[in-house]
Amino acid sequence: MTLIQPHEKSLVSPYFAFYLIVSMQIGVGILGFQRYIAKSSGHDAWMTVMIAGVAIHALVWMCYSLLNNSGGDLVSIHEQLFGKWVGAVFSTLFFLYAVFLALTALRTYIEVIQVWMFPHINAWGIGFLLIFVAYYFVSGGFRIVTALSFFCVLIGTPIIFLKYFALKNSHFYNLLPLFDHSLMDYYAGTKAMTLNFLGFEMLLMYYPFIKNPASSHKWSQWGAFFTLCIYTLTALESFAYYSQGQLKHTIWATVTIWKIVEFPFIERFEYIGISMWLFVILPNIVISIWVATRIFKRVYTIKQKYSIFPIMLLLWIGCFIFKDRQFIDALNTYVSRIGYYLIFFYIPLLFIIQRIVLKVKGTKHAKI
Amino acid sequence: MFGFSKNKAKKKKQQDSSAGASGGGDITFAELIKKCEQSHDFVTFKKGVDHPFTLYYYKAMVNPLVIHQILLPQLIQHTDVSLKKLEKLLSLESTVYTNDVQKIQNSILTGSIFICSEHEKGYGILVPAATAEKRTISIPETEFSVIGPKEAFVETIEVNMNMIRKRLPIPELQIKEMRIGKLSKTRVAILFIDGIANKENIETVTQRIEKIEYDHIIDSNYVLQMITDKQTSIFPQLINTERPDRVASVLAEGKIAVLVDGSPSALTGPTTITEFFSSFEDYFLSWHVASFFRLIRLFGVLFSVLSTPLYVAVLTFHYEIIPSDLLGTLIASRSGIPFPPIVEAIILELAIELLREAGARLPSKVGQTIGIVGGIVIGTAAVQAGLTSNVLLIIVALAALASFTTPVYQMSNTIRLLRFPLIIFAQFWGMLGVAICSALLLGHLLRLTSLGRPYLEPIFPLRLADFRDALFRLPFNKQTRRPEHLLTQDPNRLNKQRVNKKDDIDE
What is the tens place of the pLDDT at every residue in B101-110?
A: 888 888 888 8
Residue B459 located in a structural domain: no
Q: What is the pTM of this model?
A: 0.89
Contacts of A269 in chain B (CB under 8 A): 321
Residue B151 located in a structural domain: no
Average pLDDT, chain A: 88
Interface predicted TM-score (ipTM): 0.92
Residue A2: predicted pLDDT = 44
In this complex, do B447 and A140 lie within 8 Å of one another by their Cβ atoms?
A: yes
- Mean pLDDT of the region B54-76: 86
Are B437 and B474 in a shared domain? Answer: no
Q: A267, A274, A289: best mutation site toward chain B, by most B Cβ within 10 Å?
A: A267
SS3 assignment, position B90: coil
Considering only CB atoms, A133 lies closest to which of B317, B436, B462, namely B436
Looking at CA atoms only, how far is residue A12 from chain B in angstroms?
9
Residue B294: predicted pLDDT = 92
- Give the closest residue to A354 by CA, choosing from A11, A67, A161, A120: A67
Asked whether the beta carbons of B497 and B480 are under 8 A apart, the reply is no
A260 in B contact zone (CB under 8 Å): no
Residue B137 located in a structural domain: no
Are B297 and B442 in a shared domain? Answer: yes
Residue A61: predicted pLDDT = 93
A7 versus B439: which is more confidently predicted? Answer: B439
Taking 80 as the threshold, does the pLDDT of residue B501 lie above it? no
Residue B245 located in a structural domain: yes
- Mean pLDDT of the region A339-360: 89
B432 in A contact zone (CB under 8 Å): yes
Contact residues for A289 (Cβ-Cβ < 8 A; gap 6+)? A98, A99, A102, A134, A135, A138, A308, A311, A312, A315
- Mean pLDDT of the region B31-57: 85
Residue B4: predicted pLDDT = 46
In this complex, do B460 and A151 lie within 8 Å of one another by their Cβ atoms?
A: yes
Model confidence over A195-245: pLDDT tens digits? 788 888 899 999 999 988 889 999 999 999 999 999 999 988 888 888 888
Lowest-pLDDT range of A57-66, A69-78, A95-104: A69-78
Peptide bond just before B475 cis, omega within 30 deg: no
A130 in B contact zone (CB under 8 Å): yes
Taking 80 as the threshold, does the pLDDT of residue B364 lie above it? no
Are B299 and B432 in a shared domain? Answer: yes
Backbone angles phi, psi at B44, to 5 degrees: -115, 110
> Which of residues 442 through 471 in chain B touch A, CB cutoff 8 A?
442-443, 446-447, 456, 460-462
Tell me which chain A residue has its CA closest to the CA of residue B435.
Answer: A275
Are B174 and B262 in a shared domain? Answer: yes
Are B329 and B425 in a shared domain? Answer: yes
Average pLDDT, chain B: 86
Could you say which of B219, B249, B271 is where a domain stops? B271
A279 in B contact zone (CB under 8 Å): yes
Could you say which of B74, B108, B128 is where a domain stops? B128
- The percent of residues above 90 in pLDDT, for chain B, comes to 35
> Which of residues 103 through 122 in chain A touch B, CB cutoff 8 A?
113, 117-118
Query: Residue B50: is it exposed, middle or buried by C-beta count within 10 angstroms (0-12/13-18/19+)?
Result: exposed
Model confidence over A285-329: pLDDT tens digits? 999 999 999 998 888 888 888 889 999 999 999 988 888 888 888
Asked whether the beta carbons of B302 and B295 are under 8 A apart, the reply is no
Peptide bond just before A310 cis, omega within 30 deg: no
Considering only CB atoms, A137 lies closest to which of B317, B435, B443, namely B443
Residue A171: predicted pLDDT = 84
Taking 90 as the threshold, does the pLDDT of residue B86 lie above it? no
Residue B20: predicted pLDDT = 42
Model confidence over B176-187: pLDDT tens digits? 999 998 888 899
Contacts of B460 in chain A (CB under 8 A): 147, 150-151
- Mean pLDDT of the region A125-144: 92
Please report which confidence band the pLDDT of residue B378 belongs to, taking 50, 70 and 90 as the band edges. Answer: confident
Number of domains in chain B: 4
Model confidence over B242-251: pLDDT tens digits? 999 999 999 9
In this complex, do B436 and A271 lie within 8 Å of one another by their Cβ atoms?
A: no
Longest dimension (CA), chain B: 101
Find residue B469's DSSP bridge partners.
B473
Residue A363: predicted pLDDT = 56
Residue B507: predicted pLDDT = 67
CB-defined contacts A:B, below 8 A: 81
Are B20 and B166 in a shared domain? Answer: no
Integer Cα distance of B69 and B74 in angstroms: 9
Domains of chain A: 8-362 (1.20.1740.10)
Peptide bond just before B149 cis, omega within 30 deg: no
Are B335 and B424 in a shared domain? Answer: yes
- Give the closest residue to B99 by CA, choosing from B79, B114, B109, B89: B114
Asked whether the beta carbons of B277 and B407 are under 8 A apart, the reply is yes
Q: B200, B311, B321, B456: best mutation site toward chain A, by most A Cβ within 10 Å?
A: B321
Tell me which chain A residue has its CA closest to the CA of residue B327.
Answer: A265
Are B334 and B311 in a shared domain? Answer: yes
A148 in B contact zone (CB under 8 Å): yes
Q: B303, B395, B456, B460: best mutation site toward chain A, by most A Cβ within 10 Å?
A: B460
Considering only CB atoms, A275 lies closest to which of B431, B446, B447, namely B431
Residue B485: predicted pLDDT = 85
Tell me which chain A residue has its CA closest to the CA of residue B310.
Answer: A272
In this complex, do B429 and A265 lie within 8 Å of one another by their Cβ atoms?
A: no
B62: containing domain: 2-128
**Distances from the Cα of B375 to the Cα of B300, B303, B351, B400, B413, angstroms:** 20, 20, 9, 11, 19
Find residue B116's DSSP bridge partners.
B54, B124
Please report which confidence band the pLDDT of residue A57 belongs to, taking 50, 70 and 90 as the band edges. Answer: very high
Residue B230 located in a structural domain: yes
A177 in B contact zone (CB under 8 Å): no
Are B444 and B468 in a shared domain? Answer: no
Query: Residue A326: is it exposed, middle or buried by C-beta count within 10 angstroms (0-12/13-18/19+)?
Result: exposed
Are B448 and B474 in a shared domain? Answer: no
Could you say which of B128, B143, B166 is where a domain stops? B128
- Mean pLDDT of the region A77-91: 89
**Distances from the Cα of A285 to the Cα of A247, A271, A288, A309, A315, angstroms:** 28, 21, 5, 14, 10
Asked whether the beta carbons of A149 and A282 are under 8 A apart, the reply is no
Integer Cα distance of B444 and A47 in angstroms: 42
Are B201 and B294 in a shared domain? Answer: no
Taking 70 as the threshold, does the pLDDT of residue B13 lie above it? no
* DSSP letters for A243-283: -HHHHHT-SSHHHHHHTT---SS-S-THHHHHHHTHHHHHH
SS3 assignment, position A195: helix
Lowest-pLDDT range of A16-20, A220-224, A249-253: A249-253
Residue B506 located in a structural domain: no
A276 in B contact zone (CB under 8 Å): yes
- The percent of residues above 70 in pLDDT, for chain B, comes to 95
Residue B430 located in a structural domain: yes
- Mean pLDDT of the region B57-84: 84
Residue B278 located in a structural domain: no
Residue B6: predicted pLDDT = 46
Are B193 and B228 in a shared domain? Answer: yes
